Structure 1
Amino acid sequence: MKNLITISMMLFCSLVKSQTLIVEYNAFVKDNFTNKYHVFPAILESNSQQKVKLYKVNFGIKEDLKEKSTFVVTSKKKFQYKLFSQKSNKLFIEDLIQDKPYLLEDNLPEFKWQLLNEKKVVKNVILYKATTNFRGRDYIIWYDKNIKTYYGPWKFNNVPGLVYEVFEKTGFFKWEMVSYVNSTTDIADPFLTKEKFLDYKNYPKLRYGLSPELVEALKKNPNNNIFEQEKNGLEIKFEWEE
């Protein structure tokens, strides 16, 4: 009887052990010049119970496309974008901006989704449609409501189910799920320290402003005007600038 209780407890513990959802995505970004998409492999690891999320994307344009592209959304250099959150309302991000690496700390946004009755079938799964707006862009997701999870790719959270597809309404960005598995593997923190992270309020200036070197050079010539770049990334309006 004692052995039976022990086995039952072990089975119970294995069943209630918090699981990590690992989802592979393809992240697409349209090139202004070729009007075609660059495709970047992305992985989302999330544990909704433990409130942990790790999202990674491998950026970098192939050598044979570099001369034909005016791709300005991200660097043509190869690098890995990382986004991590753990039991807090903060996002810790490693990004390459103007070909320089930065560590940034952003607030975890609380997405408000409008759930719609529209549905479609993908890979024999019934998906439902939802919409939201975030920092100047409108998004549509298609999700499986039968698989409960809190996190989606990139900064998306509070999602109503497993996200299969994300479409930015202008068609500039999108995500498509490739596969997913459940795992008991813990999610590793990719950052050893959070002490040197810049506040994300610096991001718009870093991303769209002129480099400090160029600003100083232009100051020496009063006939040159200083203009910021067109905002064309995933985030184009920021709540602290309103």
Structure 2
Amino acid sequence: MLTAEPAQTRAPARFAAFGGAAAVVLTVVLVGGMDLYRLGDSTRHLRRTISEYALGPQRWVFDTGVLLLVAGSVAILAVLVRHGVAKWHSAGALAFGAWSVGLTLVVIFPKNNWAIGPSMSGSIHRFGSMVAFIALPIAAMLLARPWLRDRVWGAHARWTFGFGVLSALAFTPILYAIAVNAVVGTSWWRVIPLGYVERLLVLTEVVAVLVAAVWAIAVTRPGQLVTRTGQLEYRPSSTS
């Protein structure tokens, strides 16, 4: 891996890492807050997808939350790449980028209101969702895999990899529903309680991003260097 830069040049990256983590947490507060607010009336809305909020007066909250998640994810990836955890052209970084692109499509093209029939926007929205949901587990596992046995970053890598695996497992009910649709023709979104499954999937994927954010914050600690052999070193600030 690349040797890290002197401590005083790490302040912008450290700010980006903390800012990325804060953006992801704020996403959880905004979107989770909408769910909690509506729980006072009924739990029926939990059977519907989170994107349903984009069809009502809360659309601005939903869009803001998703765009914050995109911005936070990009910032976290940029810090990890800048400090040698990954390279921009690596499969893990590209998958992380695909996660962000998919989420952006979800905002630009709102969910279709099936009560009035299909639409191009709805189709693109569904495509963006599938790209994001599939890409994030792949990104987490690929970014972490080279570091799993590293003496310094192994723990961060294992947590990131673990939540990548959990995210992949959380996606399997949707794969099952699609398989049922292919075999017997039942609409795949009717095979499972899609709203609950999606919320579990989103939760595991967002936590995976937060775990990656903790890793990004760790690599920007002042005075800490990642050498080519993965050894952890400290350099006094006076010599930086």
Classify the TM-score, shorter chain.
under 0.3
Q: Greater helix percent: which structure?
A: 2
Higher-Rg member (1/2): 1
